[in-house]
Amino acid sequence: HITITNDKGRLSKDDVEKMVRDAERFADEDKAVRERAEARNAYESAVYGLRSSLGDKAPAEDKATVDKLIADGIAWLEAHPDASKEEYESQLKQFQAVSTPIITKMYAAAGGPEGGHARRHARWHARWECPDGFPYGGPHPRAGAGPTIDELD
């Protein structure tokens, strides 16, 4: 949505109409640029997020894979600054295909859903005696709390 105002009376009606036409003409291009930037940011965030969250903590058996995945991701980003949205999305999908199982394995080993977290979560729900699992029918108190992997630098 684009708003053009003429508060000071400096623009003629023709000027305003031309600005509206130009904005409409470039709307699709602007959308494509925004989507490409979002795709690049998603891939970049995944690569740098893995580096900052797992870098030195990767299990010995996965350390070489994680190091190579991060190095390859950074190298690809540097070599392809003008890649398309589809290329960034493809790279992200390939990156996640390798990184997700490693992260999942580490999470489970540290007491993730199959371990300590699930027990704590069950105790919390039991304490609140919520038939649907959420107090007062609202969202989980930690829903949306904290950074996601996409937000890590």
Please tell me the predicted confidence (pLDDT) of residue 112. Answer: 53
Q: Could you identify the residue written with the tokens 């999942």?
A: 104
Residue 86: pLDDT band by 50, 70, 90 thresholds? very high
Per residue in 123-132, pLDDT (tens digit) is 444 444 444 4
Count of residues in the chain: 153
| Model confidence at 95: pLDDT above 90 | yes
Per residue in 24-79, pLDDT (tens digit) is 888 888 899 999 999 999 999 999 998 888 767 778 888 899 999 999 999 999 99
Strand, coil or helix: what is 60? helix
Measured CA to CA, the distance from residue 57 to residue 53 in angstroms comes to 8
Q: Could you identify the residue written with the tokens 């030195």?
A: 56
Q: Helix, strand, coil % (nearest 5) of the chain? A: 70, 0, 30
Dihedral angle sign, alpha carbons of residues 80, 82, 85, 87? negative
Residue 104: pLDDT band by 50, 70, 90 thresholds? confident
- Mean pLDDT over the full length of the chain: 75
| Model confidence at 81: pLDDT above 50 | yes
